[in-house]
Amino acid sequence: MRSYSSVFRDESKLDINYVPSRLPHREQQLNLLNQFFRFATESPGKMTQRVLITGKIGTGKTVLAQLFGQTITKTAQQKGINLHYVHVNCRECKGSFFMILQRVILHFSPNFPRRGYSAQELLQALMQVLDEQRAYVILTMDELDALIGAEGTDTLYSLTRVHEDHTTVTQRLSLLGIIRDTSLLNTLDSSTRSTLQHNLIQLDEYSKTQLLDILNDRIASAFYDNTVSSQTLDLIAEDAASEGGDARFAIELLWRAGKYADNDNSREVLPEHIRRASESVYPVVRKDAVSALSLHEKLFLLGVARRFKQSGAAYLSMGEAENAYAVVCEEYGEEKRGHTQLWKYVQELSALDVIKTEPSSVGLRGKTTLISLPHVSAAELERELSKTLGA
């Protein structure tokens, strides 16, 4: 039995730069990338490729490209092919074609002069270095939106056409672009746009079920056994699904919750740790919304906050919330309202995003509504409500 010190087995597995060995629900897209670039390990130099990956924040665009880069360069190495995968973030380079090319050429020639060249001269110098080293490169331009916004058509045109005037020369440079908003491609000339859009990989936002699979994968390597319950996991997935299926947000939330658990010297990541983590991502305790509530809405919400705090649960049934509200009404000397009125309160609080509701799943007797707190800890909400109610 381990001596307690942390819920984490290896928290580096939750780092934003960590590339896992498998990507749940992105296997098809990874296989498609491998098919598009198959020539790079079977007939290098015979052709070149341009591919775009697109999708919203947190859909796995960057990690998909990085895992592809790792796998294809490993295959190339086994075959004795001098293939390099170079990943450059265009936003970090301020959308500058010069800075992007400089990073690529320094990958191959660390002592290359940093000044004295134009962007176009750097591009020609890169091609010369590749020839000299008999190297091939898949250049991934992450957040391509920044480059398009800063430099427009000419830059991408020169990149996509760099081999066209030299048809007898070995083809050494392939492109992989990662772009969030494909509407920006409409600002390019039709020829460049057609070239880039020819091979497009669309990543849809993750569903709650898919987020659960991703989180389970990370938990297995990042946390000790039995430190993250299914209820806690469900709360994270629900929260991330409401944020557009953002897996990056879900993993960040999981890591922060683990930190709160360690801070509390807890052997388990509890739903309250998730709520506190979410509150730290969304630092607004919704004080304006709370202060504007009616008296009985505040009393109802106070009962909900207290029940969550006492039970440590991720969800409350409507019946449990009503019972908690009744206790608070007795404490404050108020006559409790009926079920119909309380249901209206629930709908209003849900619309304000103070609480979240969803139908119960199979297994509960009868049909009921489950209530959760999406972005605030139960303890903090209780403090705020007690303050406004003058307790």
- How do residues 273-325 score in pLDDT, each as one tens digit? 998 888 777 544 455 567 778 899 999 999 999 999 898 888 899 999 999 99
Tell me the pLDDT tens digit for each residue of 113-171: 888 889 989 999 999 999 999 999 999 999 998 898 888 888 888 888 887 755 557 89
Q: What is the pLDDT of residue 366?
A: 55
Distance CA 156, CA 377 (A): 48
Q: Which domains are seen in the chain, by residue range?
A: 27-203 (3.40.50.300), 206-281 (1.10.8.60), 287-388 (1.10.10.10)
Q: What is the mean pLDDT of residues 343-351?
A: 85
Whether the predicted pLDDT of 98 surpasses 60:
yes
Percent of the chain with pLDDT over 70: 93
Q: Measuring CA to CA, how many Å separate 372 from each of 90, 229, 288, 324, 391? A: 39, 16, 20, 14, 24
pLDDT above 60 for 235: yes
pLDDT on residue 116: 83
Helix, strand and coil percent figures for the chain, each rounded to 5: 55, 10, 35
Residue 74 pLDDT exceeds 70 = yes
pTM score of the predicted model = 0.77
- Phi-psi label, residue 331: left if phi above 0, alpha if psi -120 to 50, beta otherwise: alpha
Residue 157 vs residue 72, higher pLDDT: 72
What are 333's two structure tokens?
């000397």
Mean pLDDT throughout 244-251? 91
Higher per-residue pLDDT: 198 or 122: 122
Query: DSSP of 120-169, one letter per residue?
Result: HHHHHHHHHHHHHHT-EEEEEEETHHHHHHHHHHHHHHHHHTTTTT-TTS
Determine the Cα–Cα distance for residues 211 and 208; give it in Å rounded to an integer: 5
Q: What does the pLDDT read at residue 288?
A: 57
pLDDT number for residue 359: 81
Q: Is the pLDDT of residue 175 over 50?
A: yes
CB 140 within 8 A of CB 88: yes
3-state secondary structure of 220: helix
Task: Give the confidence band of 362 by pLDDT, cuts at 50, 70, 90.
Answer: very low
Predicted pLDDT of residue 1: 43
pLDDT at 391: 54
Query: Over 90: is that where the pLDDT of 196 sits?
Result: no
